[in-house]
């Protein structure tokens, strides 16, 4: 959520941002609703003041100057409605892009800012990860579709060991960097989900909503880590507060019918190790760059070729002010595909969640939030299988993961 005061004072900037993000929000209507609300609020407060004056005098003098209870009630009701209407629209207003983010119309305007690693030269026709994984009995989507439907998968055997190796490797690396490990709830309240700003602009479509219990399944642990400090005031000394979370993630993939239908690249449920930080206003961009550097370090240590893409305005998403993706090389597709993403959400999430920090002078500010992928397990396993396949159909395990897999070097048929 943006600051309504900021919108009142800078309507043109906000309109520009909506346009740049390709999100249709009627800012003029919002301001009109806001004015209406303020007018009603003033009248309501006036009547309440009158009520207080009346009830103060009454017990002493016994005479009651008249104020209309019905009138107050009417105004209170109208004020409440006007506020509700205004807030509904206010929540739709996206965060402003950071100054260094390029204006762009679509993902075609995203900018590749760095490419790392040599694409493997196999000397044979590389196979698709699913073919390899099925022949090695690592992934089973056929039976998963029997049990659960489309877009699900079983990870089996060494793929499972790989998952836990990746988790342990990420945890070890990030704990060394001062991150606190956490396993968060995968079900969160409607309030928490709203606070993270993922329900606006059709976001509701993307999430599993358990209406009977009024809970949402989280699409990423960002959604359960952010609200941890809802309505709290942290002190500046404890910032940045960094978490590394492991959780299953659930996504309806409603807007991606027909896209990546094969295998486990795009599924309704996957596990992810996620980084999250609460920072000061001054440090959030620095923290965001740091998150990107950690993501690169993790991928580099595995040895997967990748590139870094800086998102243009239209590809930022609602809460983000700035966003990078890491795309890993997928040989069978001859393409880089997204495996990591890191966003700086400035105070957009914190305002809604009411998370603040006290600076050295005791002054309170809204906190800034930064999130980023450490490993999206499924996609990382895909990249590993594809890039480290050998001619005989076996898979070489990256050195750094071997200690977590009892020294195993290779996944082979035997």
Closer to RNA by CB, 80 or 286: give it.
80
Q: Residue 304's closest CA among 188, 395, 205, 198?
A: 395
CB of 35 to RNA, least distance (A): 9
d(CA 94, CA 63): 54
d(CA 242, CA 255): 32
Closer to RNA by CB, 19 or 281: give it.
281
Interface of this chain with RNA, residues 225 to 284, rule: CB under 7 A: 233
Q: Residue 214's closest CA among 197, 190, 184, 187?
A: 190
Q: Which residues are paired to 325 by β-bridges? A: 309, 341
Out of 26, 36, 38, 87, the residue judged to bind RNA by CB under 7 A: 38
| Binding track, positions 302-341, relative to RNA; x by CB under 7 A | ----------------------------------------
Out of 31, 54, 187, 228, the residue judged to bind RNA by CB under 7 A: 54
Q: Residue 284's closest CA among 175, 171, 372?
A: 372
Distances in Å between the alpha carbon of 315 and those of 102, 255, 318, 328? Answer: 10, 15, 9, 19
36 lines the binding site for RNA (CB under 7 A): no
Assess whether 266 carries a catalytic annotation: yes
Closer to RNA by CB, 8 or 102: give it.
8
210 lines the binding site for RNA (CB under 7 A): no
393, 384 Cβ separation under 8 angstroms: no
**Radius of gyration over every alpha carbon of the chain, rounded to an integer in angstroms:** 26
d(CA 410, CA 394): 7
d(CA 244, CA 100): 27
Out of 52, 119, 300, 335, the residue judged to bind RNA by CB under 7 A: 52
Assess whether 338 carries a catalytic annotation: yes
| Binding track, positions 169-198, relative to RNA; x by CB under 7 A | ------------------------------
41 lines the binding site for RNA (CB under 7 A): yes
**Other C-beta atoms lying within 10 Å of the C-beta of residue 123:** 7
323, 342 Cβ separation under 8 angstroms: yes
CB of 11 to RNA, least distance (A): 15
Residue given tokens 């590139």 in the structure block: 307
Q: Decide: helix, strand or coil at residue 283.
A: coil
Check 151, 251, 322, 351 and give the catalytic one.
Answer: 251
> Which two three-digit tokens encode residue 189?
């309240």
Q: Decide: helix, strand or coil at residue 125.
A: coil
Check 253, 287, 379, 386 and give the catalytic one.
Answer: 379
Assess whether 379 carries a catalytic annotation: yes
55 lines the binding site for RNA (CB under 7 A): yes
Assess whether 386 carries a catalytic annotation: no
Check 236, 338, 390, 402 and give the catalytic one.
Answer: 338
Check 51, 266, 307, 337 and give the catalytic one.
Answer: 266
d(CA 38, CA 46): 12
Out of 1, 2, 4, 101, the residue judged to bind RNA by CB under 7 A: 4
Closer to RNA by CB, 55 or 150: give it.
55
Closer to RNA by CB, 4 or 200: give it.
4
Q: Looking at 24-32, 49-57, 249-257, 401-409, which segment touches RNA (CB under 7 A)? A: 49-57
Helices (H) and strands (E) in the chain, counts: 12, 18
Out of 88, 146, 364, 410, the residue judged to bind RNA by CB under 7 A: 364
Closer to RNA by CB, 63 or 99: give it.
63
Interface of this chain with RNA, residues 58 to 97, rule: CB under 7 A: 58-59, 64, 67, 69, 73, 80
Check 284, 341, 343, 394 and give the catalytic one.
Answer: 341
Q: Decide: helix, strand or coil at residue 118.
A: coil
The beta strands (E) that lie in 95-235 are given as: 111-116, 139-140, 154-155, 180-182, 187-189, 209-210, 215-217, 233-235
Closer to RNA by CB, 54 or 171: give it.
54
**Other C-beta atoms lying within 10 Å of the C-beta of residue 323:** 26
Q: Which residues are catalytic?
A: 251, 266, 338, 341, 379
Residues lying near RNA in the complex (CB under 7 A) are found at: 4-5, 38, 41-42, 44-46, 48-49, 51-52, 54-55, 58-59, 64, 67, 69, 73, 80, 233, 356, 364
């Amino acid at each position: 959520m943006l600051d309504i005061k900021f919108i009142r004072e800078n309507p043109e900037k906000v309109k520009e941002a909506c346009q740049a993000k390709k999100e249709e929000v009627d800012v003029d209507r919002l301001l009109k609703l806001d004015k209406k609300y303020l007018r009603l609020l003033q009248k309501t407060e006036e009547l309440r003041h009158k009520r207080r004056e009346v009830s103060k005098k009454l017990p002493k003098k016994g005479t009651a100057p008249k104020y209309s209870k019905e009138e107050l009630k009417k105004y209170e009701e109208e004020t409440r409605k006007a506020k509700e209407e205004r807030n509904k629209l206010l929540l739709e207003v996206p965060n402003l892009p950071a100054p260094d983010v390029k204006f762009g119309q679509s993902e075609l305007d995203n900018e590749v800012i760095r490419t790392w690693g040599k694409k493997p030269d196999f000397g044979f026709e590389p196979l698709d990860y699913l073919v390899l994984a099925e022949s090695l009995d690592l992934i089973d989507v056929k039976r998963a579709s029997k049990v659960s439907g489309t877009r699900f998968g079983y990870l089996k055997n060494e793929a499972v060991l790989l998952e836990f190796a990746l988790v342990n490797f990420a945890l070890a690396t990030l704990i060394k960097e001062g991150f606190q490990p956490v396993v968060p709830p995968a079900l969160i309240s409607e309030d928490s989900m709203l606070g993270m700003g993922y329900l606006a602009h059709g976001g509701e479509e993307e999430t599993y909503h358990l209406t009977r219990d009024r809970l949402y399944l989280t699409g990423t642990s960002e959604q359960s880590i952010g609200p941890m400090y809802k309505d709290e005031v942290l002190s500046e000394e404890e910032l940045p507060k960094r978490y590394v979370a492991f959780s299953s993630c659930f996504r309806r993939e409603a807007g991606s019918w027909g896209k990546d239908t094969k295998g486990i690249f795009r599924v309704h449920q996957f596990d992810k190790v996620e980084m999250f930080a609460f920072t000061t206003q001054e440090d959030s961009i620095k923290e965001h760059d740091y998150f990107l550097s950690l993501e690169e370090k993790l991928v580099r240590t595995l040895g997967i070729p990748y590139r870094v893409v800086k998102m243009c305005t239209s590809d930022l998403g609602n809460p983000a002010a700035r966003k990078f993706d890491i795309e890993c090389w997928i040989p069978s597709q001859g393409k880089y595909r997204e495996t990591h993403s890191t966003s700086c959400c400035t105070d957009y999430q914190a305002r809604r969640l009411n998370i603040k920090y006290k600076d050295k002078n005791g002054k309170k500010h809204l906190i800034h939030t930064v999130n980023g992928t450490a490993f999206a397990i499924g996609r990382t396993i895909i990249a590993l299988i594809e890039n480290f396949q050998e001619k005989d159909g076996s898979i070489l395990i990256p050195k750094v993961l071997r200690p977590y897999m009892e020294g195993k070097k290779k996944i082979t048929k035997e």
